[in-house]
Structure 1
Amino acid sequence: MTPPPSSRGRGSGGPARPRARKLGAVRRSQLVTTYGVGAMIAVENESFIVSGIDSWNIDDAPIINEGRLANAFPGIDFFRLPPAPDPEYGIDGVRVRRFPEFYSCPDCNALQSYKEFNCLPGRARCPDCDEDLVPSRFVLACDDGHIDDFPYWKWVHRGNALQSGFCGGKLTLKTEGSAASLRSVVVSCSCGVQSVSMEGAFRVKALKELGIRCEGRRPWLGGAKPQPCARHPRTMQRGSSSAWHPVMRSALSIPPWGEGIHQLLVQEKLLDAPESVIRWHFEQRPALLKRNKATVEEVVIIAREIAAQKAASAGAEAGSDDLYAGLREQEYKRLRNGNPERHSAERQDFICERPEGDIAPVRELGVVEIMLVKRLREVRALQGFTRGVAPLESEPDHRLAALHQSDINWLPAIEVKGEGVFLRLDEDRLQAWETKPEVIKQVEQMRLNHLALLRERTPADSKAKASGSPVSPRFVLLHTLAHVLINEWSLDGGYPASALRERLYANESMAGILLYTATSDSAGSLGGIVAQGDPKSLSETLRSALARASWCSNDPLCMESGASGADSVNLAACHACVLLPETSCELNNSFLDRTLLIGAPSGEVPGYFQASGV
């Protein structure tokens, strides 16, 4: 990562490009999941914010093609892997900007912007004390992603000189005593105003009373004008996890998109070429078609289908839920139909087959279909980010902060490969269970809490409308089942729970879950998860997982909870029984209730698996 480059470019005829300062290095995947655009990153005693993707040097950034996912974002044609370091110049293509701008000196206690310290180039040290400067611990941010420096001057003056402008004094910040509380952090001004501690700075009401409002600043976008914002800002710790929440979309590579003729079009860089160009290209290369067992007409037909799907999504709202839901329906059908191995790993990203042997042991439990996904590829793209409260399922995208300000037809993404097991529940048994009044009543409060949160997070003057809640008995059952199986497989299969992921297929026409490992580290595709899909082994695992879910060390409080979780959208679910690492759950550990699996101890709420005698 480097600061924004100077205006001097690298060219054969121009002056040599100056060697920029390299600040640090992070993995490519982290630039999508952890330190993406708009996220703050600490480098030694300095702090920076990752700049927009329109400032990145993408000359050597590989293109990632995933047509199905790109179609869910009108205007997006492809994805890019974040750029790697440039060995020639000692820098990489990702730019950062200094943020927050306020720093303090631990010796003289001076509190001012970094520029006012007049530090030597590349050294964040106080020129008077020769001590390392400390970036501000506190920032101001709103739920729409805007972020700014904490207004120390307004905080310490408390309205004393607001009517006549700034007092011209010098601010200082020091810690009094040995306590770590905010009361010990004191801000002073040389104008003589009374010193004020930082106690109460995290209360939104306190900021509102001082007239401190969101200025709509977007420092990660160089030169971007502030946006009008009606949100009330809140104080955050610079390193807080709530300061940046990535919003990601993902898709599996399934036929015909990930193999055969589609893969051939990708390799020949003809995915978006006119039909006449495609026809001419392959007529001139008959050996290529023969090697791929295809004809020119077959290639043209696939190219037409791809173009038609892109045209169908062009008029839809970018990243809309309808388009994204369509991806899951396509995957669900393909997972059920299977896809035997026909090509090499380079030309076939998806292999899905039925297990050998009788599945009667799991059918007795209400699972009617098992598919072993022996090879899969997943593309995860960063759509935007939020700050403050994490986004909820079905929340409108009006809160998403932009990743760029210029016209760009790509998004940053990563691709991972792994394996998994797909399970489908018995539709008839499921429908009979989910229509019972006791089951509906059990989930109704969770759904109402979710709807209330959606309305609360949608501004009254916003054009976006809070969508309906996906919460239903089927949805919560499948989600909770995925969690208990991941916990069980982390014990039986040797995988850490953080290396396993869930993918839910839950609506009126779908009732399945895909549990898989798709990670770029050593816990990738080792065969251990596919082995868990053996019917006999799966039956034992499922019974063990349900038995483990029937008791929690926090019972009876956990089981009898009327609402739990950060947003009160869980029931019987806590860290001792159901919750997973954040990397494993695609719903931020929300919408969980193990009562739906095994039933309530009082017998008032029947569990889906109770009929199996588990």
Structure 2
Amino acid sequence: MTPPPARRRRTAAGGGTPAHNLPRRGAVRRAQAITTYGVGSLIAVDQESFIVSGLDEAEQSWSGDESPRIYERRLARVLGVDYFRLPPASDDTSKDGLRVRRFPLMHSCPECTELQRHGDFNPPAGRSICGTCEVDLVPSRFVVACESGHLGEFPYWQWVHRSTDRDAASLGPCGGRLKLRSSGRTSSLRSILVSCTCGQAPEVSMEGSFRRNALKDLGLKCRGTRPWLGTSAPAKDCGLPLRTLQRGSSSVWQPVLKSALSIPPWSNGRADPLAEHWDALRQYDSREHVEIYLKGAFRGSECPVPLDEVMMLLAAEREEDPDSEAAPTFDHRYRALRNKEYERLRSGNDESEHSRDEQFLCESPLGDQSVLDPLGVTGPMLVKKLREVRALKAFTRLIDAESTTDSKEMPLSENPLRWLPAMEVRGEGVFLRLDEDRLATWEKAPAVAARVERMRTAHQRVLEQRADDPSRVVPSPATPRMVLLHTLAHVLINEWSLDAGYPAASLRERLYAADDMAGVLIYTATSDSAGSLGGLVAQGEPELLDRTVRSAVRRAEWCSSDPLCMETDTSGGTETNLAACHSCVMLPETSCEHNNILLDRALLVGATEDPEMGFFAGILDR
């Protein structure tokens, strides 16, 4: 990672702009640039703190060799872009990489206790030390953010002078200098003391600064600052309440990730040369008009994709158009994408019928599938090869990305781009479905419906509290089959982690839960040594799958936190779980699609007051 260049650059001897020679500050993996240290996030490097810059200059600064383009037409269409780019994989000879900016700017010196902007300490070039004391400066531990995604410096000056008679938001300079020290008595906020040398206000502690209305009581509102875009980004008044956060808190940055599997006919890579032409091609219905456009688009050379294949791809794309939607929303398009994946996973894609370039191979197991009938499990498929493209669409602050609307998502650049950063995962997986007849009967049970309704109501309440427009609140996805599939996926991942030797964080779920879908895909979510070795596919054979499901359900029957876990009325930080905790079914964040919410193992094994409620209660020895 490198800080952005200065606004004014020296010219080279010939009058041009010299090559970049920017200092390097640490390194992150490509996957981290999407999931952990994406645009707008804070990253600590040694004793310094930076914020990852926006993508406005990335088109020029990211090298084509270190940051190649990747294509996934189905996902690109949903997100409104032409293609994706891998974050740069820089080495020691690279001229550029991910650019960062220093944030927060407020620093303190542990020796002289001065609290001021970094540049006011007069540090030597390229170093972050106090120019007087020559000790490392400490970045501010505290920042402020609003639910629209803006981020700013903590208002230390207003916090110190809040005890004066005047409104802290309108106070003018006092001529003093801020000081920050720790009393050392405790490790709490009460021991962090801030003062001003003006003498107009007493020394105050940071205790109470995290209260929801702490900054609102000072008359402070969000000014719309976006430090990841630099000083050139205009600060538009936002007006939303500000919240104080720890610099390293997970609430400071939450990625909005969207993903898609590469499925036929898009999974062989032959359509990649047409990535920037699909929007234009969609306007033509006749074969003749498409042929004329291709001749003009590839003037001087032959189109790399045969015309018959182009027409087939256009027909496949139109099949994913949402039904009965004059102006389909993002959610409708994303749901249509999932529906098509479900159909392809059910039908399969035989290896013998395709070339080596095929990126999606899905076959039925050779064993007798009837052994799974007593479990209510049907249609297992061995996904021997798959490719997933996971793109960073935007990010949020203070609120979970899964429970937000587009208005609360902060874009990655000031100006719209025709691409987004993304990563691709190549691996393998196992797909299975639940028997529709048995599932429909189970869903109608009053105890099941009442239990899930409690979870749905709690989740809907959270969504309404976080929405800026009540009329646009996204309905909660909690249904009996969704919660059942979600919990089943978690217990299977835990079981395979113990039985097949996979780290739980290397496996990931992909749920297909709707009125006409009841399936789950568990696949390798990493491209390292645990990615594609065949071990997971082998677990999909009916005999092994039968033993795995039975063992996973029996293991879920008991939790080390029982009876508290099973008998609790609510669970989880947002009270959207029931019988679920970190001792039984919760997974690492990289494995779960829904941030470990909407889980209830009672729907698998039955509750204490109703043992027959569980979908798999019949296979348990009670």
Q: TM-score, normalised by structure 2?
A: 0.91
Matched with 2:560 is 553
Structure 2 distance, partners of 1:386, 1:521, is 29
Structure 1 distance, partners of 2:320, 2:605, is 44
Residue 50 of structure 2 aligns to a residue in which SS? strand
Does the Cα contact within 8 Å between 2:71 and 2:275 map onto a contact in 1?
no
Q: Shift of the alpha carbon at 1:439?
A: 0.9
Give the aligned length. 598
The range that moved more, 248-257 or 53-62, is: 53-62
1:108 equivalent among 109, 112, 137: 112
> Does 2:344 match 1:340?
no
Structure 2 distance, partners of 1:533, 1:503, is 16
Structure 2 distance, partners of 1:343, 1:4, is 50
The range that moved more, 428-437 or 21-30, is: 21-30
Matched with 1:129 is 133
Residue 453 of structure 2 aligns to a residue in which SS? helix
> Residue 71 of structure 2 aligns to which amino acid in structure 1?
N
Matched with 1:201 is 209
> Residue 112 of structure 2 aligns to which amino acid in structure 1?
C
Q: Structure 1 residues 362 and 466 mapped into 2: Cα distance closer, same or farther (>3 Å)?
A: same
Matched with 1:221 is 229
Encode CA deviations 1:302-325: one digit per residue, 9 max, x unaligned: 35437757998998577x211111
Structure 1 distance, partners of 2:224, 2:215, is 16
Q: Structure 1 residues 600 and 282 mapped into 2: Cα distance closer, same or farther (>3 Å)?
A: farther
Does the Cα contact within 8 Å between 1:22 and 1:91 map onto a contact in 2?
no
Does the Cα contact within 8 Å between 1:188 and 1:196 map onto a contact in 2?
yes
Matched with 1:324 is 334
Encode CA deviations 1:513-532: one digit per residue, 9 max, x unaligned: 00110312221101111011
For 1:110-509, list aligned pairs within 5 A: 110-160=114-164, 162=168, 164-192=171-199, 193-222=201-230, 223-259=232-268, 263-266=269-272, 272=278, 275=290, 276=292, 278=294, 296-305=306-315, 320-342=330-352, 347-393=357-403, 395-459=404-468, 462=469, 465-509=472-516
Q: Shift of the alpha carbon at 1:242?
A: 1.6
Encode CA deviations 1:500-519: one digit per residue, 9 max, x unaligned: 00000001010000011031
Structure 2 distance, partners of 1:316, 1:355, is 41
Encode CA deviations 1:192-227: one digit per residue, 9 max, x unaligned: 120001111111222221112222211111222223
Q: Structure 1 residues 343 and 9 mapped into 2: Cα distance closer, same or farther (>3 Å)?
A: farther
Q: Structure 1 residues 585 and 307 mapped into 2: Cα distance closer, same or farther (>3 Å)?
A: closer
Structure 1 distance, partners of 2:202, 2:53, is 38
Does the Cα contact within 8 Å between 2:464 and 2:470 map onto a contact in 1?
no
Q: Shift of the alpha carbon at 1:24?
A: 1.8
Listed as ranges, the gaps of 5+ residues in structure 1 are 290-295
Does the Cα contact within 8 Å between 2:83 and 2:275 map onto a contact in 1?
no
Residue 235 of structure 1 aligns to a residue in which SS? strand
Does the Cα contact within 8 Å between 1:55 and 1:95 map onto a contact in 2?
no
> Residue 572 of structure 1 aligns to which amino acid in structure 2?
A
Residue 536 of structure 2 aligns to a residue in which SS? helix
Q: Shift of the alpha carbon at 1:229?
A: 2.6
> Does 2:584 match 1:582?
no
Structure 2 distance, partners of 1:27, 1:10, is 33
Structure 2 distance, partners of 1:345, 1:386, is 42
Structure 1 distance, partners of 2:355, 2:34, is 25
Matched with 1:5 is 5
Residue 130 of structure 2 aligns to a residue in which SS? coil
Encode CA deviations 1:232-287: one digit per residue, 9 max, x unaligned: 2111111112211111000000001112xxx223258775486436468699769x
How well do the aligned residues superpose, as a CA RMSD in angstroms? 2.6
Encode CA deviations 1:38-66: one digit per residue, 9 max, x unaligned: 00011121111001111222331211100
> Residue 88 of structure 2 aligns to which amino acid in structure 1?
P
Structure 1 distance, partners of 2:422, 2:149, is 20
Encode CA deviations 1:402-444: one digit per residue, 9 max, x unaligned: 1101131111000010000000000000001101111101111
Q: Structure 1 residues 100 and 315 mapped into 2: Cα distance closer, same or farther (>3 Å)?
A: farther
The range that moved more, 489-498 or 24-33, is: 24-33
Encode CA deviations 1:41-99: one digit per residue, 9 max, x unaligned: 1112111100111122233121110001011122x1111111232755x4423211110
Q: Shift of the alpha carbon at 1:299?
A: 2.4
The range that moved more, 307-316 or 175-184, is: 307-316
Q: TM-score, normalised by structure 1?
A: 0.92
Q: Structure 1 residues 579 and 270 mapped into 2: Cα distance closer, same or farther (>3 Å)?
A: closer
Q: Structure 1 residues 412 and 343 mapped into 2: Cα distance closer, same or farther (>3 Å)?
A: farther
> Residue 254 of structure 1 aligns to which amino acid in structure 2?
I
Q: Structure 1 residues 154 and 28 mapped into 2: Cα distance closer, same or farther (>3 Å)?
A: same
Q: Structure 1 residues 311 and 552 mapped into 2: Cα distance closer, same or farther (>3 Å)?
A: closer
Listed as ranges, the gaps of 5+ residues in structure 2 are 282-289
Structure 1 distance, partners of 2:62, 2:342, is 35
Does the Cα contact within 8 Å between 1:596 and 1:605 map onto a contact in 2?
no
Matched with 2:83 is 78
The range that moved more, 178-187 or 377-386, is: 178-187
Q: Structure 1 residues 503 and 311 mapped into 2: Cα distance closer, same or farther (>3 Å)?
A: closer
The range that moved more, 78-87 or 31-40, is: 78-87
Structure 2 distance, partners of 1:30, 1:72, is 23
Residue 417 of structure 1 aligns to a residue in which SS? strand
Identity among equivalent positions (%) equals 52
Structure 2 distance, partners of 1:547, 1:554, is 16
Matched with 1:562 is 569
Does the Cα contact within 8 Å between 2:506 and 2:530 map onto a contact in 1?
yes
Residue 54 of structure 1 aligns to a residue in which SS? coil
Residue 300 of structure 1 aligns to a residue in which SS? helix
Structure 2 distance, partners of 1:235, 1:500, is 35
Structure 1 distance, partners of 2:438, 2:398, is 41
Q: Structure 1 residues 508 and 228 mapped into 2: Cα distance closer, same or farther (>3 Å)?
A: farther
> Residue 418 of structure 1 aligns to which amino acid in structure 2?
G
Q: Shift of the alpha carbon at 1:297?
A: 3.7
Encode CA deviations 1:122-164: one digit per residue, 9 max, x unaligned: 0111011011111001111122211111000010111525455
Q: Structure 1 residues 251 and 316 mapped into 2: Cα distance closer, same or farther (>3 Å)?
A: farther
Q: Shift of the alpha carbon at 1:401?
A: 1.0
> Does 2:520 match 1:519?
no
Residue 521 of structure 1 aligns to a residue in which SS? coil
Does the Cα contact within 8 Å between 2:507 and 2:591 map onto a contact in 1?
yes
Structure 1 distance, partners of 2:466, 2:376, is 38
Does the Cα contact within 8 Å between 2:322 and 2:333 map onto a contact in 1?
no
> Residue 90 of structure 2 aligns to which amino acid in structure 1?
P
Encode CA deviations 1:87-115: one digit per residue, 9 max, x unaligned: 55x44232111100100001000000112
Structure 2 distance, partners of 1:117, 1:565, is 45
Structure 1 distance, partners of 2:189, 2:564, is 33
